[in-house]
Amino acid sequence: MDEDNNRDASQAKANDAMDRILDAVLARYAAVEPRPGLEGRILANLRTPPESSSARAWWTLGLTAAVAAVIVISIA
């Protein structure tokens, strides 16, 4: 029984040590600042109007043609 208590106590000490290490690593990770200019780049990207994509238009056209073909085949 004493051996089980000793094992539990040593495991609790190991868990406490691991918790301290993890807390230190997470505190260092949380203290990192974003790269300079990141906010400005994001805001500039949001201000620019979206470009119309010709690839999107072709895909929409292809999808429309496929739906039309399915309708024609199902009617026939």
48: left (phi over 0), alpha (psi -120 to 50) or beta: beta
Mean pLDDT of the region 1-13: 69
Whether residue 67 is predicted with pLDDT greater than 80 in this model: the reply is: yes
Closest CA to 28 of 36, 20, 17: 20
Whether residue 68 is predicted with pLDDT greater than 60 in this model: the reply is: yes
Which two structure tokens, joined as six digits, stand for 40? Answer: 């400005």
Q: Look over the chain and give the mean of its residue pLDDT values, rounded to a whole number.
A: 83
Q: What is the pLDDT of residue 5?
A: 65
Domain map (residue ranges) of the chain: 2-75
Q: Percent of the chain beyond pLDDT 90?
A: 28
d(CA 10, CA 15): 9
Whether residue 2 is predicted with pLDDT greater than 80 in this model: the reply is: no
pTM for the whole thing?
A: 0.35
- Report how far apart, in Å, the C-alpha atoms of 65 and of each of 33, 58, 61, 68 are: 50, 10, 6, 5
